[in-house]
Amino acid sequence: MRKANQFCPYESLELDLLSVLVIILFKNCLKTNNIIPANTHFSQSLENRGWASLTTYIALIFAFFVYSLASVFSKGASTQGVLSWAYLWRVACAIGVLGVYALLWQQIIKRMPVSDAYMFKGTSLIFILLLSHIVFEEIITIQNIIGSILIIGGIALYAKS
């Protein structure tokens, strides 16, 4: 684990990776004309074709962020004694977070094709990487950065096809 005063050349990189992900997602939404008034004939024809709105994509990313919080609670539980109150509390939080994620996921797949929604599952790995750095002060390595770039690239390639 990283000490608070230890120098890490990649400290601001987690924000850069998140910024790149957000830019790619919004760029692809703009390309597909998903940012349009909700009550127009054109928006209804897009929804009939199965295209999701920008709000659905934002909810999707938020759902995977919520999903990644379950990993944080699970790791927090692993640092406690088995069946202690702190352990049970963290496990209960992980289960509760997964329940919230399940409700969000059901609402999202009602509004967009499962194949499109599932391609964003890789964003949860990036969120877990960032949260582990923020909460547990784990070091982000160059391999983590390369992996995150590959995940974002894969999402972008799928979105273009």
Tell me the pLDDT tens digit for each residue of 3-19. 444 444 444 444 444 44
Q: Which residue type occupies 73?
A: F
Looking at residue 28, what is its pLDDT?
Answer: 53
Is residue 115 included in any domain, yes or no?
Answer: yes
Is residue 3 included in any domain, yes or no?
Answer: no
- Domain range for 109: 13-160
Distance separating alpha carbons of residues 92 and 78, to the nearest angstrom: 13
Domain count for the chain, please give it: 1
Distance separating alpha carbons of residues 160 and 154, to the nearest angstrom: 10
Looking at residue 9, what is its pLDDT?
Answer: 41
Is residue 113 included in any domain, yes or no?
Answer: yes
Looking at residue 114, what is its pLDDT?
Answer: 87
Is residue 2 included in any domain, yes or no?
Answer: no
Q: Which residue type occupies 130?
A: L
Is residue 141 included in any domain, yes or no?
Answer: yes
Tell me the pLDDT tens digit for each residue of 32-81. 444 444 444 434 444 554 556 888 888 999 999 999 999 999 999 999 99
Is residue 1 included in any domain, yes or no?
Answer: no
Tell me the pLDDT tens digit for each residue of 108-149. 999 888 888 888 888 898 999 999 999 999 999 999 999 999
Is residue 5 included in any domain, yes or no?
Answer: no
Is residue 50 included in any domain, yes or no?
Answer: yes
Alpha helices for the chain (secondary structure H): 13-31, 41-48, 54-78, 85-111, 114-118, 122-136, 142-160
Angle between helices 54-78 and 85-111 (to 10 degrees): 160
| CA torsion angle 94 131 140 26 (round to 10) | 120
